[in-house]
Amino acid sequence: MQTVKNSYQNSIEIKKSIFHAFLTPIENFKELQEELRKTHPKARHIVWAKREEKGGQILEYSSDDGEPKGTSGPPALQALRGANLVNIAVLIVRYFGGIKLGTGGLVRAYSAATNGVINEAELVPFVVKERFLFFSSYPILQRVEYLLNGKEIEILNKSFDEGGARWEILISNEDKTSFLDEIGEFEGFSYKNLSTTP
């Protein structure tokens, strides 16, 4: 599976209709959708599709945004699926050019718009990560920090109280076992896997 770290844009014209396609990480989806509605108030449609990994499952969503049912969102989603992309969204702004494309033409147009922006993007491997919350007492704080800095672990949050430090981290499945084995030998350490906690 692959994903993107940045946003990308590409435009195509089909029978005088303009399709502006935007590919973005899933966490930017709502913000980009609002921005596009403001910057393209005269656009007839802003179609979208997204694929998201949650708890080992791929969740898929799409919207035709007023285009005939199944002619725009699902073809865009199929293009994301075909490229094996995840944690990613595509939004396509359409300006109608006065010539109707028909259902088959719309399917081809939205597929082409999505594939066009995918071709512009720098794709990176998607790594499944889990969220952990762990607690370390003050005597082992420096050793924990040293271990964290030696691995590619994303620290989401760190706070202190009288008992020690609380850390919220994102860690890949690849690094998880070795990290927990190493840190588990420290006294004054405990953790909770937030990805599997209901």
* pTM, full prediction: 0.71
- From the list 183, 124, 123, the residue with the least C-alpha distance to 153 is 183
Asked whether the predicted pLDDT for residue 197 surpasses 50, the reply is: no
Q: For 112-122, how does the pLDDT look when each residue is reduced to its tens digit (9 = 90+)?
A: 999 999 999 99
Mean pLDDT for 36-64 is 91
Domains, in order of start, for the chain: 2-125 (3.30.230.30), 129-193 (3.30.70.240)
Q: Which residues sit opposite 155 in a β-bridge?
A: 169
pLDDT of residue 195: 67
Q: Tokens for 32? A: 């980009």
- From the list 57, 49, 43, 2, the residue with the least C-alpha distance to 23 is 49
In angstroms, the CA 16 to CA 13 distance is: 6
φ, ψ dihedrals at 165, nearest 5°: -110, 145
In angstroms, the CA 168 to CA 191 distance is: 10
- For β-strands 164-172 and 154-161, DSSP reports them as antiparallel
Asked whether the predicted pLDDT for residue 196 surpasses 60, the reply is: no
- Beta carbons within 10 angstroms of residue 107's beta carbon: 20
Q: Strands (DSSP E) along 55-118, which ranges? A: 57-63, 88-95
Mean pLDDT, rounded, of the chain: 88
